[in-house]
């Protein structure tokens, strides 16, 4: 008992004396200041009591003290502190009261409204044309104010890993290699930065021809070959409104008009802003930056930002008027990127039986971004040839021309980065890992000259049950002109092999221009629209859409096609095919006896006016997918060259997505028409996700595809003409579930209607969708803060039944797809 009481007493003693004691008094009359708020960065540590005292615990080195009608004060943290606050002027007290109401200043909001109203008029893109250049320098390094301390520390530091671990067993090869690489990196950064990337760019714009970006030169430490996905990154506020001024973010910022000053002989409004996180703990006078608005044009002149936590980031962005429009001229950003931590021995030597103790030395790492814009020319005559090809073009990327565009010389530390980091990255084989990631984003796994299609590894449908396969394409490392490919797959229920062999011939290195021949023997679901220009994310959504559908047909096909990008926005593909087809389900069409010989041509078009593309050695890269997007496919069957079918088939769809005060809206409109003599798979299935033969709860759970209906039985409805609408509205608010994870709610409406002129010609069990099919739903995006969405949908209208179980469906899918 005595030992227990002693332990409790020791614990109480430790807790009490580890706390900090603060007393706040009035400097004028020495009286206690009640309700003074004490902050560490943006965290409220507490408020003083009637005696002006507060006991608190903190790891901060400095605190800030605020009290109404007193001037603010900053103080170094000690065990016991006594501070005197100076009474402020009445005017300042009034300002405090306004700030503490947690409302934006009406005058500030009115100025910001005028800014947004005049943004397009003040934008350089209101001009007929312009062009300019930019030089960007992106680096990662320790805090620039701590470089000398960092270098001195590393100079004194010996083999810390050996001191800390003192291993008595043989170290594994990989662990030893990683340890040595880590030490090599630490030693290299004595004289060099952790990372350096320079880029020189030319920006062109024309109201007639659009915009064009040319990479004049680039050099990234550690990567002798350009990473095209990185070259397309836009770490800049160029031609976009900073989020701090966007109307949709008014609910997370507070704005206060603080001053009116002169900048470059122009009257300028100064608006302070702060980000609201926790209203109960919000530091009432800790601002996140200032906005400078030109009083005459209501254009943005300067933006100063700082992080919510002290010394974790800042930025200064400046615009200036050129030919009455406001161009971005410089950006300087600094963002905290974690810490470099080192454990060092507290003593140089220890006694024989004494255990070594260690202390941690920490240096902050920061990302530095510097962008300079220069050589502005406006309203110049632009040639159409300057805008040919894709929106982004790489002229040079070996660093040899950068000296022509640098706005300042590299420091000795910066200059050493390329040589030292290049050596380390090559030793660690980082470039291969980066290539793996960038190819995965395109749906491929790259191994040397082979690209494996990730989406071909595994498929699931009712006819085959499970299909395992492998699709391989030889990439540009094999040949810059010829690219053979091969696919083989096996269905475990039908016990059949499927395969395809093809050859692509590239006819241009400037744009997509590919001649292809192929032969395949495969099976496909009946009635699907053409997916020629679908990207990997759209195809990913279709992987499980036939889990309850067994209406498949076999297709033995020989084909030739020509794929060509007419412009950055318009792509076209013309295909000729000779096919032998037969149904793999109980089906009869007129007198064809399940033997369909077909010769056809297909023209496919994709128009994406706001997409941004870049040509790379491996092909076109869409680095910015934007909306709207339009897809059209027209197919014609001929009774020539062995073909027995005469038909026309047209399908089209459009997708548009946009943001407003109501949140994010997405509209998908699709439709199609088929006429002439053709089997059911040349018509259209209205795709459903449910199991038509079960009403169990498990069968109600599905993973919907791009144009499917969550409550519709799979393989039930077919038409030869249809129109469909899929609309969703993500509501403009977020809510927390676990920790800092947030979720959103999306509402959806799906509808389709169609018809069939001669359904009696197709002998199998199906329904004609000749009345509107409708369903509504609500989706919980990032369910419980996780990486998937869960939705509940319910059928309405003509096809609704009196049985609840017939009408609902549950949707589960990965977030972002």
The predicted model gives 364-368 an average pLDDT of: 90
- Computed over every residue of the chain, the mean pLDDT equals 86
Residue listed under structure tokens 């700030």: 99
Span 309-318, pLDDT tens digits: 767 788 999 9
**What Å distances lie between residue 86 and 48, 66, 98, CA to CA?**
16, 11, 20
Phi, psi of 50, deg, nearest 5: -65, -25
> What's residue 420's pLDDT?
86
> What's residue 284's pLDDT?
57
Q: Is the pLDDT of residue 684 over 50?
A: yes
Which helix (H) or strand (E) segment is 195 a member of?
strand 195-206
- Distinct helix (H) and strand (E) counts, the chain: 11, 47
Least confident interval from 109-118, 137-146, 193-202, 448-457? 137-146
Q: Is the pLDDT of residue 6 over 50?
A: no
Q: Is the pLDDT of residue 728 over 80?
A: yes
> What's residue 362's pLDDT?
81
The predicted model gives 88-116 an average pLDDT of: 68
Residue 551 DSSP label: -
Q: To 10 degrees, what angle do helices 412-428 and 173-188 make?
A: 170
> What's residue 511's pLDDT?
93
**Given the DSSP bridges, would you call strands 358-378 and 392-394 parallel, antiparallel or unpaired?**
unpaired
Name which residue leads in pLDDT, 141 or 353: 141
Span 544-598, pLDDT tens digits: 889 999 999 999 999 999 999 999 999 999 999 999 999 999 999 988 889 999 9
Give residue limits of the domains in the chain. 18-91, 111-431, 523-533+564-814
| Sheet-wide strand order for 80-85 | 53-56, 20-26, 80-85
Confidence at 498, pLDDT banded by 50, 70, 90: very high
Residue 87 DSSP label: B
18-91 topology per CATH: Immunoglobulin-like (2.60.40)
The predicted model gives 595-617 an average pLDDT of: 95
The predicted model gives 13-23 an average pLDDT of: 63
Confidence at 98, pLDDT banded by 50, 70, 90: very low
Span 531-547, pLDDT tens digits: 999 998 888 888 888 99
Concatenating the DSSP letter of every residue in 101-170 gives TT---HHHHHHHHHHHHHHHHHSGGGSSEEEEEEEEEEEEEE-GGGHHHHHHHHHH---HHHHHH---SP
**One-letter-per-residue 3-state SS of 735-747:** EECCCCCEEEEEE
Closest CA to 654 of 689, 620, 609: 609
Confidence at 161, pLDDT banded by 50, 70, 90: very low
> What's residue 682's pLDDT?
96
523-533+564-814 topology per CATH: Porin (2.40.160)
**Given the DSSP bridges, would you call strands 709-713 and 688-690 parallel, antiparallel or unpaired?**
parallel
| Dist CA 688 CA 776 (whole Å) | 14
> What's residue 92's pLDDT?
41
Confidence at 11, pLDDT banded by 50, 70, 90: very low
The predicted model gives 190-207 an average pLDDT of: 93
Work out the percent of the chain whose per-residue pLDDT is above 90: 54
The predicted model scores a pTM of 0.80
Residue listed under structure tokens 């009359």: 29
The predicted model gives 481-500 an average pLDDT of: 96
Q: Is the pLDDT of residue 276 over 80?
A: no
Work out the percent of the chain whose per-residue pLDDT is above 70: 88
> Can you say how many angstroms the Cα of residue 749 is from the centroid of all Cα atoms in its chain?
26
Q: Is the pLDDT of residue 249 over 50?
A: yes
Q: Is the pLDDT of residue 367 over 60?
A: yes
> Can you say how many angstroms the Cα of residue 100 is from the centroid of all Cα atoms in its chain?
36
Least confident interval from 144-153, 184-193, 273-282, 753-762? 273-282
Confidence at 97, pLDDT banded by 50, 70, 90: very low
């Amino acid at each position: 008992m005595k030992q227990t009481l002693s332990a409790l007493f020791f614990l109480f003693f430790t807790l009490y004396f580890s706390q900090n004691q603060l007393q706040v008094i009035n400097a004028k009359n020495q009286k206690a200041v009640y309700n003074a708020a004490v902050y560490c960065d943006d965290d409220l540590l507490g408020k003083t009591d009637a005696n002006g005292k507060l006991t608190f615990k903190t790891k901060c080195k400095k605190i800030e003290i605020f009290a109404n009608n007193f001037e603010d004060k900053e103080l170094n943290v000690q065990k016991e502190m006594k501070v005197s606050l100076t009474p402020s002027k009445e005017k300042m007290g009034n300002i405090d009261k306004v700030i503490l109401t947690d409302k934006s200043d009406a005058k500030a909001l009115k100025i910001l409204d005028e800014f947004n109203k005049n943004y397009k008029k003040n934008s350089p893109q209101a001009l007929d044309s312009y062009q300019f250049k930019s030089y960007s320098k992106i680096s990662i390094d320790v805090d620039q104010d701590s470089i000398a301390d960092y270098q001195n520390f590393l100079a004194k530091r010996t083999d810390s890993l050996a001191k800390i671990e003192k291993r008595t067993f043989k170290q594994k090869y990989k662990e030893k290699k990683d340890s040595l690489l880590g030490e090599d990196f630490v030693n290299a950064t004595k004289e060099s930065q952790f990372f350096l990337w320079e880029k020189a760019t030319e920006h062109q714009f024309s109201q007639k021809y659009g915009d064009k970006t040319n990479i004049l030169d680039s050099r990234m430490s550690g990567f002798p070959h350009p990473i095209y996905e990185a070259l397309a990154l836009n770490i800049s506020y160029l031609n976009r409104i900073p989020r701090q001024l966007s109307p949709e973010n008014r609910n997370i910022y507070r704005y206060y008009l603080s001053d009116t000053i002169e900048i470059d002989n122009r009257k300028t409004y100064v608006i302070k802003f702060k980000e609201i996180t926790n209203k109960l703990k919000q530091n009432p006078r800790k601002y996140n930056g200032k906005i400078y608005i030109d009083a005459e044009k209501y254009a943005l002149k300067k933006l100063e930002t700082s992080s919510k936590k002290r010394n974790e980031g800042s930025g200064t962005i400046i615009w200036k008027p050129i030919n009455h429009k406001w161009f971005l001229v410089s950006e300087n950003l600094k963002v905290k990127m974690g810490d470099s931590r080192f454990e060092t021995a507290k003593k140089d030597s220890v006694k024989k039986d004494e255990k070594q103790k260690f202390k941690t030395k920490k240096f902050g790492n920061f990302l530095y971004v510097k962008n300079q814009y220069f050589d502005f020319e406006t309203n110049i005559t632009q040639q159409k040839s300057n805008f040919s090809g894709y929106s982004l073009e790489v002229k040079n990327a070996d660093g040899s021309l950068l000296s022509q565009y640098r706005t300042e010389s590299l420091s000795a530390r910066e200059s050493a980065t390329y040589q030292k980091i290049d050596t380390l990255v090559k030793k660690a084989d980082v470039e291969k890992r980066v290539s793996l990631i960038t190819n995965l984003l395109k749906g491929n796994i790259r191994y040397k000259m082979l690209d494996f299609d990730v989406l071909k590894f595994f498929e699931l449908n009712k006819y085959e049950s499970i299909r395992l396969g492998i699709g391989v394409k030889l990439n540009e490392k094999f040949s810059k002109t010829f690219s053979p490919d091969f696919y083989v797959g096996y269905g475990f229920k039908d016990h059949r092999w499927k395969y395809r062999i093809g050859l692509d011939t590239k006819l241009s290195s400037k744009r997509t221009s590919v001649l292809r021949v192929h032969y395949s023997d495969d099976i496909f679901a009946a009635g699907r629209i053409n997916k020629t220009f679908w990207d990997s994310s759209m195809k990913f959504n279709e992987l499980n859409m036939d889990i309850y559908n067994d209406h498949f047909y076999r297709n033995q096909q020989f084909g030739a096609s020509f794929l060509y990008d007419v412009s950055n926005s318009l792509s076209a593909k013309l295909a000729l095919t000779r096919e032998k087809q037969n149904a793999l389900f109980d089906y009869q069409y007129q007198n064809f006896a399940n033997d369909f010989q077909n010769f056809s041509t297909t023209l496919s078009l994709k128009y994406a006016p706001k997409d941004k593309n870049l040509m790379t050695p491996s092909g076109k890269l869409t680095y910015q997918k934007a909306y709207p997007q339009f897809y059209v496919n027209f197919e014609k069957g001929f009774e020539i060259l062995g073909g027995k079918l005469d038909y026309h088939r047209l399908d089209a769809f459009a997708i548009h997505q946009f943001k407003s005060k109501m949140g994010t809206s997405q509209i998908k409109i699709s439709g199609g028409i088929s006429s002439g003599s053709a089997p059911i798979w040349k018509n259209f299935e209205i795709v459903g996700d449910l199991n038509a033969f079960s009403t169990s709860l498990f069968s109600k759970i599905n993973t919907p595809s791009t144009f499917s209906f969550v409550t519709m039985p799979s393989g039930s409805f077919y038409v030869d003409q249809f129109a469909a609408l899929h609309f969703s509205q993500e509501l403009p608010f977020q809510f927390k579930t676990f920790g800092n994870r947030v979720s959103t709610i999306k509402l959806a409406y799906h509808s389709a209607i169609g018809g069939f002129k001669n359904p009696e010609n197709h002998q199998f069990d199906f329904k004609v969708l000749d009345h509107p099919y409708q369903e509504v739903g609500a989706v919980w995006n990032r369910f419980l803060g996780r990486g998937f969405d869960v939705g509940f949908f319910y059928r309405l209208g003509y096809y609704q039944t009196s049985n609840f179980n017939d009408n609902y469906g549950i949707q589960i899918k990965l977030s972002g797809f």
